[in-house]
Amino acid sequence: MAKVLMKGNEAIAEAALRAGAEGYFCYPITPQTEVAEYLSKRMPEVGGMFLQGESELAVANMLFGAASTGKRVFTTSSSPGISLMQEAISYMAGAELPAVIINIMRGGPGLGGILPAQADYFQAVKGGGHGDYRTLVLAPSTVQEAVDLTMLCFHLAQKYRNPVMMIGDGMIGQMMEAVEFPESYEEPPLPSTDEWAATGALDRKARIIKSLFLDPVGLENNVLILEKKYQQMIREEVRCESYKISAENKILIVAYGTMARICQTAIDELEADGVSVGLFRPISLYPFPEKEILREATRKNIKSVLTIEMSMAQMMEDVERAIQGRRPVHFFGRSGGIVPTPEEVKEQVLKVLSIKRRTAKKK
């Protein structure tokens, strides 16, 4: 299929359809509303179900009910709306239901603003709702990758029967880029939904889809079943990418999403100035590519690691945990909807390099 120029939000919507999404529930919120507008037209065309709910609270619970049928269903929202969805996300994780939730992030806390941010990292990665659960989290850095990962989300949700999130900063949703959709959608075989979905107790025992276990032994058992899945995710679903990582690097930048692309520009310009910097880009934020970061960060010539975010040192905690104190980890970030420029990134790299030089002189 030829490349088409599409806005991120519309490309995400189309990708979901290509991945077999049959139901979509939404509530308007900037900067993701174009997904809803696009699907209000497209869903009926493909025989799917489109519904605008009365609140994100209701929408996430509609998703819960819809996911119980075993069909592929999803919702999209932005930061404050995603906060309202945490109740149902926790319940769906507890009840082992597959659902896709896409967060086109804006600045917070509170009502915050409507410009791009990555400030929902903790909420997405550490579990925004209550209880012992995880959501698998993917973060695209281009519109094409948003398409690819959206499609992957549906597969992973079914594979693990767990909510899967894709988080993109507002830039991913709003910018237009050339994208290509696969001719046909193929995915590895999945377990049948016949084993668990609520489809009516015809010629089988009635099924209960629930997260309530009043007996503590039963509840712990359910938590351990979930934990086993999360360990499998850690083994099988780590995704990451490197850019210009080499033996000459003195500094390793860790950044994801749009921020990683800006860092690539800065790295190219620094290279032209004779400063060698590598970039490590996590694509899966949960599971976090811990071993992969540790391996790159502890290369012989790497003196420091610099985490760069459109948030206040949220991912940095995971980078530090991965590196286990074996290299100093520095942080640079902007927040509130301000997107760092390549110049700012270059400045930070040079600053970290000069810190190293000064420390060396003192010795």
Kindly list the residues in this chain that would bind another protein in the complex (CB under 8 A). Answer: 22-23, 25, 49, 51, 53-55, 57-59, 61-69, 71, 73, 87-88, 91, 95, 198-203, 206-212
Closer by beta carbon to another protein, 50 or else 122: 50
Closer by beta carbon to another protein, 52 or else 246: 52
Closer by beta carbon to another protein, 178 or else 212: 212
Q: In angstroms, what is the minimal distance from the CB of 46 to another protein?
A: 14
DSSP 3-state of 285: strand
Q: In angstroms, what is the minimal distance from the CB of 203 to another protein?
A: 8
Q: In angstroms, what is the minimal distance from the CB of 221 to another protein?
A: 17
Q: With contact defined as beta carbons under 8 Å apart, do 253 and 304 qualify?
A: no
In sequence order, which residues have a C-beta less than 8 Å from that of residue 304 and are 6 or more positions away? 250, 251, 252, 327, 328, 329, 330, 352, 353, 355, 356
Nearest to 345 by CA among 245, 239, 271: 271
Closer by beta carbon to another protein, 198 or else 234: 198
Calpha distance 65→42 (Å, rounded): 22
Calpha distance 17→50 (Å, rounded): 12
* Locus of tokens 């999130």: 165
For residue 343, CA distances in Å to 22, 237, 278 come to 44, 34, 16
Nearest to 77 by CA among 29, 110, 138, 130: 29
Nearest to 331 by CA among 311, 347, 316: 316
Calpha distance 151→148 (Å, rounded): 5
Q: In angstroms, what is the minimal distance from the CB of 206 to another protein?
A: 5
Closer by beta carbon to another protein, 49 or else 175: 49
Q: In angstroms, what is the minimal distance from the CB of 199 to another protein?
A: 7
Closer by beta carbon to another protein, 23 or else 168: 23
Q: In angstroms, what is the minimal distance from the CB of 155 to another protein?
A: 19
